[in-house]
């Protein structure tokens, strides 16, 4: 899901890199490309329009942050707007003051309601709740049985109509399930309801009747993220026909373009509470708009890094350092300053862990040695300002003095100075290559 959107957006934003200032034309071009990327991902037109307008206004309104370069600022704006259309804050389930909390599931047939009932039950159990499932899909042959199997796998009780009584009345089953849950002190009841292949009045009426009978604390509309543009119409039909307090996206593991997921919150005004990304009971989680947005932007947690950098670096500090690097004037004093600013952001392993691809390098991250960094800082602090500014003057006797003063061996000092010269050479070369 979102792969091609993610690729498109990332490359649009990458094109901005290395620009010192963004002109109006740069912003217009970027916004046009973002618009195309969103439309190609099947995001609903009104949502695309509002999104692009916001990004454009904000980018042109130059929310200038001295710690960020223009490209980073646009990334930040796009990210914040994405978080916004996905709902902003994470919305948690609202539990009733007087149990049982009733959670009703509604949605088309095949959207993943029954599977979700099992996932929710498992999740609720893990949260310390005592959930029960109610089988109120009496339409689809085998639906009750399927829920019972799901319940068994999740290790939760299922309230089902007695077999052999004909089709039965789902409203009645729902009502009795609530009474049973209350009587036996289950604290959450998840009500599975019937879906149809398409939206129809009969289906809506039945769902509305169940809703009236059990007055649910949450009605969750279950939306298969694989369906394209049609998802928005279905969501609107359910909003008008039954009403819902939240959305669950299913099949996010599929290869659909993701437009439905990106549109549903804006179109219906209701938040996404959970996301399902597989058939397994555990392939399910609370939906976090911020995490989803950074996943779409393909940037790991780079954005939280940007935010932390904004607060850790003094205005203009990073640019000054970059400028000095490119001019070959970077000194050990600058190095110390940068290192202190970076370390203000938290342990290095955590900072590195936020970079894209970091999930694949957990082992190496565990080995980042903070003590080694302490040692480097101690060595630089043991130097005089003149030595920091011009490490070439650090001869043999100075190295010995620095080593003694900072409690390390002479080899440590040698290593640091040598590495500094190597790094400086490389920075100058890189700066030349990238035209910085
Ligand atoms: P219902 O008719 O709404 O109750 O839908 P079901 O729960 O029976 O799901 C329909 C099909 O979608 C089943 O084959 C499920 O295994 C599958 N399914 C449900 N959720 C997911 C999901 O998140 N990812 C994938 N890949 N399949 C899912």
Does the global pTM surpass 0.80? Answer: no
Ligand 1 pocket: which of 112, 113, 153, 203 to mutate (most atoms within 8 A of CB): 112
> What ligand 1 atom has the least distance to the C-alpha of 137?
4
The answer to whether 242 and 207 are in contact (CB under 8 A) is: yes
> What ligand 1 atom has the least distance to the C-alpha of 254?
26
CA atoms within 13 A of residue 227's CA, in its CB half-sphere: 21
Return the pLDDT at 398: 94
Q: What is the mean pLDDT of each run of 10 residues along the chain (436 residues)?
A: 82 78 86 92 92 92 65 84 93 94 94 95 93 91 91 95 73 95 96 82 89 96 87 90 95 82 92 92 88 75 58 64 71 81 69 57 63 85 90 92 90 89 73 51
Measured CA to CA, the distance from residue 287 to residue 78 in angstroms comes to: 19
Tell whether residue 215 is among the known ligand binding residues: no
Measured CA to CA, the distance from residue 370 to residue 342 in angstroms comes to: 12
Measured CA to CA, the distance from residue 43 to residue 289 in angstroms comes to: 16
Residue 305 is encoded by which pair of tokens? 């890094």
99 lines ligand 1 (CB under 6 A): no
Q: Domains in the chain, start-ordered, CATH in brackets?
A: 3-85 (1.20.120.140), 101-287 (3.40.50.300), 313-433 (1.10.260.30)
> What ligand 1 atom has the least distance to the C-alpha of 276?
23
Return the pLDDT at 244: 96
110 lines ligand 1 (CB under 6 A): yes
Distance 154 CA to ligand 1 centre (A): 15
Return the pLDDT at 435: 45
Q: Cα 357 to the chain's mean position, in Å? A: 15
193 lines ligand 1 (CB under 6 A): no
Tell whether residue 435 is among the known ligand binding residues: no
């Amino acid at each position: 899901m979102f792969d091609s959107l993610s690729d498109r957006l990332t490359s649009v934003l990458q094109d901005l890199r290395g620009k010192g200032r963004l002109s109006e034309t740069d912003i217009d071009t970027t916004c046009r490309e973002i618009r195309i990327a969103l439309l190609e991902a099947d995001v609903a037109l009104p949502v695309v329009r509002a999104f692009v307008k916001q990004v454009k206004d904000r980018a042109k309104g130059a929310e200038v942050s001295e710690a960020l370069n223009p490209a980073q600022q646009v990334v930040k704006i796009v990210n914040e707007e994405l978080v916004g259309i996905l709902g902003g804050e994470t919305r948690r389930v609202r539990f009733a003051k007087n149990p049982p909390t009733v959670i009703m599931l509604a949605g088309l047939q095949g959207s993943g309601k029954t599977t979700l009932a099992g996932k929710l039950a498992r999740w609720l159990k893990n949260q310390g709740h005592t959930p029960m499932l109610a089988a109120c899909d009496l339409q689809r042959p085998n639906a009750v049985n399927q829920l019972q199997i799901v319940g068994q796998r999740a290790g939760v009780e299922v309230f089902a109509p007695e077999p052999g009584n004909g089709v039965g009345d789902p409203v009645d089953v729902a009502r009795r399930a609530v009474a049973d849950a209350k009587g036996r002190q289950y604290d959450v009841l998840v009500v599975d309801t019937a879906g149809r292949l398409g939206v129809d009045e009969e289906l809506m009426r039945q769902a509305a009747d169940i809703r009236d009978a059990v007055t649910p604390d949450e009605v969750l509309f279950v939306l298969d993220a694989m369906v394209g543009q049609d998802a928005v119409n279905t969501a609107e039909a359910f909003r008008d026909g039954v009403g819902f307090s939240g959305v669950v996206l299913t099949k996010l593991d599929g290869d659909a373009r993701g437009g439905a997921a990106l549109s549903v919150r804006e179109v219906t005004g209701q938040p996404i509470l959970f996301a399902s990304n597989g058939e397994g009971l555990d392939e399910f989680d609370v939906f976090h708009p911020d995490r989803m947005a950074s996943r779409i932007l393909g940037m790991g947690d780079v954005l939280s890094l940007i935010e932390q950098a904004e607060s850790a670096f003094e205005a203009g500090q990073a640019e000054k350092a970059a400028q000095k690097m490119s001019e070959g004037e970077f000194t050990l004093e600058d190095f110390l300053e940068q290192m202190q600013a970076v370390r203000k952001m938290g342990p290095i392993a955590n900072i590195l862990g936020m970079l894209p691809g970091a999930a694949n390098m957990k082992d190496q991250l565990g080995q980042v040695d903070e003590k080694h960094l302490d040692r480097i800082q101690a060595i630089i602090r043991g130097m005089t300002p003149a030595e920091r500014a011009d490490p070439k003057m650090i001869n043999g006797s100075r190295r010995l003095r620095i080593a003694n003063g900072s409690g390390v061996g002479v080899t440590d000092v040698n290593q640091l100075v040598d590495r500094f010269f190597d790094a400086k050479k490389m920075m100058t070369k890189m700066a030349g290559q990238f035209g910085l």
